[in-house]
Amino acid sequence: MSEERKEEASVPKEPISVFALLAVMVDQLASVAWQKLGLHPDPITGGLHRDLDEAKVAIDLVAHLSSLLEAKLDEEDRRRVHTLVRDLRLNFVEKAREEGR
């Protein structure tokens, strides 16, 4: 058995935590929200594309999933998530104003 496989075998395995999965989903949806706001390039096209309807859905999902995760976070992570949601919302309002919504 290779050394790497021995290390993998010795690491205790635990079932996936729903809260760990939520944290990953929050990060992924936040990334999509920034892309849909036209502030980060789309990883597939490399270009900036704005779709505020999709951005709003992504931001709302980030906020909702974050609220489910909040009880499991320490104070620093809780502040980071609150800041993330606030920044996404503020940028949405700014981009909506630019489009005259």
Per DSSP, the three-state class of 37 is strand
- pLDDT at position 40 is 96
The residues that bridge with 50 in the sheet, in sequence order, are 37
Are the C-beta atoms of residues 50 and 64 closer than 8 Å to each other? Answer: no
d(CA 96, CA 59): 13
pLDDT in tens, 12-52: 788 989 999 999 999 999 999 999 999 999 999 999 999 99
- pLDDT at position 67 is 96
pLDDT in tens, 45-98: 999 999 999 999 999 999 999 999 999 999 999 999 999 999 999 999 999 999
d(CA 39, CA 24): 21
- pLDDT at position 3 is 65
Characterise 100 by phi-psi region: left (phi > 0), alpha (psi -120 to 50), beta (else).
left
Instruction: Indicate the domain borders of the chain.
Output: 17-98
Per DSSP, the three-state class of 48 is coil
DSSP state of 80: H
Counting every residue written for the chain, the total comes to 101
